[in-house]
Amino acid sequence: MCRWSAISKGMAVLWLASACTALAHTRPRYGGTLRVETQADPWQAADSIGRRLVFDSLTRTDGSGAVQPALAVRWKAQNGNHRWEFWLRPGVHFHDGSPLTADRVQQSLERSCKQCPWTSVRALGDSLVFTTASPDPVLPEELARSEYAIAAEDVAGNPVGTGPFRFVSNGNYLLSLAAADDAWQGRPFVDAVEITGRRVVRTQWLDLSAGHADVVDVPVEAVRQAQQERLNVIQSGDCDLLVLSVARNGVLAEDARREAVALAVDRAALYNVIFQKQGEMTASLLPDALTGYGFLFPVARDPARAQGLHGASGGATLMLVAEDMNAAMQLAAERIALNLREAGFHVQVATRSMNAEANGAPDLALKRIHLESADAQAALEQMLAAFGQTLTDESADPAALYRQEASFTQTHQVIPLLYLPRSYAVGARVHGLRLSPDGVPLLADVSLEDAK
């Protein structure tokens, strides 16, 4: 998803570092071990950096958001988009050498299906047949999402996929992967990838500077600092939505109160001060670069009107929780609380543990949602699903998407705040690092300068 934003700014991948040297393009070399460090767990989440290297999905989306074949080579909709058939790519094997079959794909999809868009999936020869309760014109786009990646286990119980790297081990937040020599998309250039998770950012940067790491995180609020420290920073377009989720109960049960919250929040302060002018302010669920209509959602605050809508009561104290524990999110939560107090609300910023002790859902939750889909309709479906909603109109027409988005955001259950990019710092020996459309490093295309 991030890609459009980058395109709209006239760049697919933006090198921010001042230390970037001008070199002629050379062919990638094979060999070496790429060392990656990250704040996140490298394996746990479906869209984690490790899983993205080991598993493939039936489809993928390219930088323009168009869906492309991956493990499925073609597909066909039938019965008014109620029935979809996907034909598998022949000759693909899992990393343990076993063939990719429709039965195994069916098993994988059934395991991963929690809030999935289909009602049933079954193997039919070398194809998969999906049926859906309602017409689903964007099922190919949805199947590109990492949560529907095709995973299996070998006889030892280790995860196996069909991606460019095979799983070797994972323990103490150190994930080891090795190049899959017979990967259907081609063997990666590096022989191995070691990903160290749960690493403090400052430590990551020190490791990068000392040559102990090749790719490290740069939190979006620290991009300027990284530049000042002359790190070589690569940045995606905007793909993480910072959003305030508003409960529809208690003080906030009334529409006017939730609207008052929306009008009270000062996005400009979040953007300028906390997130250091990275990304863009938004009041829409999808970025303007993707839809072209984001500007129709006003981002300006109106504290006077917020006070008017809130009224005089507002007795109960609202609990505001930042779901992400990092410092910038905590600061953002504090800033929003300040805005809401100015509008007459009583607000307490709580940690997740405090909220858990309070034994209830928070009134206000500050969340960061990763937008993976690169197609506007599939992206909106993903965003709505994140808040328990579904598309009500199957049309891909921009006006229909706008109406649905406006209809939902006008309930003020969700207040979009900022769209943020993802950033990484890259060592000097790393060549060819690009980011996926949703801001994940494409490590299979990386080669190392000193590889032999």
Partner 1 sequence: MTAAGYNRRHRMKSLWLRARVLAGLACTGLLLAWGPVCRAAEPWDTPATELAHQIATLTGPGAVSLTIRNNSAITLDEIPAIRRSLLNALSALGVTARPAADAATTVRVTLSQSARQGLWVAEVQQGPEVRVAMVSVANTAPATKPQGTPVLLRRTLLFAQAEPILDAQTMALPGNPHSLVVLSPDEIAIYHGGESGGAWVKGETFAIAHGRPYARDIRGRLEVDTAGGFKAYLPGVVCSAGQQETTAGAGLAVSCADSDDPWPAGLRRAFYNSSRNYFTGVTIPSVGGDAEPFYSLAELPGKNGAATVYSEVGGQFRVSDGASLRPLAGSRDWGSDVVGVQSECGAGAQLLATGSGDAMQDSLIAYEVAGHEAIAVSPPLPLDGQVVALWRTGEPATATMVLKTEQPLQYEAYRVSLVCNQ
The verdict on 86 binding partner 1 (CB under 8 A) reads no
Binding mask 234-273 for partner 1 (x = CB under 8 A): ----------------------------------------
The verdict on 29 binding partner 1 (CB under 8 A) reads yes
292-299, Cβ contacts within 8 angstroms, sequence gap of 24 or more: 292/398, 293/398, 293/401, 293/402, 296/402, 296/406, 297/405, 297/406, 297/409, 297/416, 299/267, 299/268
Q: Which is nearer to partner 1, 256 or 358 (CB)?
A: 256
The verdict on 189 binding partner 1 (CB under 8 A) reads yes
The tokens describing 61, both together, are 């989306």
Cα–Cα distance, 72 to 66 (Å, whole number): 15
Pair 261, 409: CB distance under 8 Å = no
The verdict on 88 binding partner 1 (CB under 8 A) reads no
Pair 430, 12: CB distance under 8 Å = no
Q: Which stretch binds partner 1 (CB under 8 A): 50-58, 204-212, 255-263, 395-403?
A: 395-403
3-state helix, strand, coil in the chain (%, to 5): 30, 25, 45
Query: How many residues are recorded in the chain?
Result: 452
The verdict on 64 binding partner 1 (CB under 8 A) reads yes
Distances in Å between the alpha carbon of 446 and those of 16, 179, 183, 231, 293? 19, 12, 15, 18, 36
The verdict on 12 binding partner 1 (CB under 8 A) reads yes
CB of 283 to partner 1, least distance (A): 14
The tokens describing 48, both together, are 């984690």
Q: Within its chain, how far is the Cα of 261 from the centroid?
A: 26
Distances in Å between the alpha carbon of 185 and those of 175, 251, 309? 22, 54, 57
The verdict on 424 binding partner 1 (CB under 8 A) reads no
Site for partner 1, residues 159 to 188, rule: CB under 8 A: 164, 181-188
Query: Which listed residue (246, 365, 376, 415) binds partner 1 by CB under 8 A?
Result: 376
CB of 91 to partner 1, least distance (A): 8
Binding mask 429-448 for partner 1 (x = CB under 8 A): ---------------xx---
The verdict on 45 binding partner 1 (CB under 8 A) reads no
CB of 69 to partner 1, least distance (A): 12
Cα–Cα distance, 372 to 395 (Å, whole number): 20
The tokens describing 100, both together, are 């990719």
CB of 430 to partner 1, least distance (A): 11
Site for partner 1, residues 270 to 329, rule: CB under 8 A: 288-293, 295-296
Q: Which stretch binds partner 1 (CB under 8 A): 96-104, 204-212, 362-370, 394-402?
A: 394-402
Cα–Cα distance, 417 to 414 (Å, whole number): 9
Total residues contacting partner 1 (rule CB under 8 A)? 49
The tokens describing 386, both together, are 């994140």
The verdict on 400 binding partner 1 (CB under 8 A) reads yes
Q: Within its chain, how far is the Cα of 278 from the centroid?
A: 17
Interacting residue ranges for partner 1, rule: CB under 8 A: 3-4, 7-8, 10, 12, 15, 20, 22-30, 63-66, 164, 181-189, 288-293, 295-296, 374, 376, 397-400, 402, 444-445, 452
